[in-house]
């Protein structure tokens, strides 16, 4: 079966699950109107909810595509250590270092300016 069929199965399960919720709410409202005490949902509503959940899970499992192996060794067999250890999401270029060294950069700029002024005075 194609992915489209599994998505249709998933939608059928979703609509059935929504109908189960509506049926449960309607049952509770009916009990309030006839002033009976609520003990539990009828078995047909519970059974419909359970079947709807199973149908939805089946549709979702087969419509998402191929699963990857849980064991990492199978995925990492053909990769070198440098490739496996590379984590681009951990690269950080915006850090506290520029704030911590902002005073030293200002001092460095001042020293360069004063050194160039001193050098200019030696030339003349």
Average pLDDT, the chain: 79
| Domain limits for position 26 | 9-64
What are the Cα distances from residue 10, in Å, to 53, 61, 64, 68?
10, 9, 11, 22
**77 belongs to a structural domain:** no
**26 belongs to a structural domain:** yes
**16 belongs to a structural domain:** yes
For 54-107, the DSSP string reads: HHHHHHHHHHS-PPPPS-HHHHHTTS-HHHHH--GGG---S-THHHHTHHHHHH
**106 belongs to a structural domain:** no
- Residue 86 is predicted with a pLDDT of 72
Measured distance CA(27)–CA(49) in Å, rounded: 14
Measured distance CA(52)–CA(13) in Å, rounded: 5
The arithmetic mean of pLDDT across residues 4-18, rounded, is 95
**30 belongs to a structural domain:** yes
Asked if the model's pLDDT at residue 100 lies above 90, the reply is: no
Number of other CB atoms surrounding residue 59 within 10 Å: 20
- Between CA 15 and CA 22, with CA 21 as vertex, the angle to 5 degrees is 85
The arithmetic mean of pLDDT across residues 118-122, rounded, is 51
**Domains held by the chain: number:** 1
**51 belongs to a structural domain:** yes
pLDDT digits (tens, 9 = 90+) for 24-33: 999 999 999 9
The arithmetic mean of pLDDT across residues 80-107, rounded, is 66
Least confident of 4-13, 48-57, 104-113: 104-113
Is residue 56 a contact partner of residue 70, using CB atoms and an 8 Å limit?
A: no
Measured distance CA(21)–CA(37) in Å, rounded: 19
pLDDT digits (tens, 9 = 90+) for 51-68: 999 999 999 998 887 777
Asked if the model's pLDDT at residue 104 lies above 60, the reply is: no
| Residue 108 confidence class, pLDDT cut points 50, 70, 90 | low
Q: What is the pTM of this model?
A: 0.55
């Amino acid at each position: 079966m194609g992915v489209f069929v599994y998505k249709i199965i998933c939608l059928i399960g979703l609509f059935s699950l929504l109908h189960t919720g509506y049926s449960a709410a309607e049952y509770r409202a009916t009990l309030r109107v006839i002033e009976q005490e609520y003990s539990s949902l009828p078995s047909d509503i519970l059974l419909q909810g359970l079947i709807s959940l199973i149908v939805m899970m089946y549709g979702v499992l087969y419509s998402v595509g191929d699963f990857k192996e849980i064991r990492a060794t199978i995925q990492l067999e053909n990769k070198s250590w440098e490739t496996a250890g590379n984590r681009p999401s951990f690269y950080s270029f915006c850090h506290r270092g520029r704030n911590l060294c902002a005073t030293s950069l200002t001092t460095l700029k001042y020293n360069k300016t004063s050194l160039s002024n001193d050098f200019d005075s030696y030339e003349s």
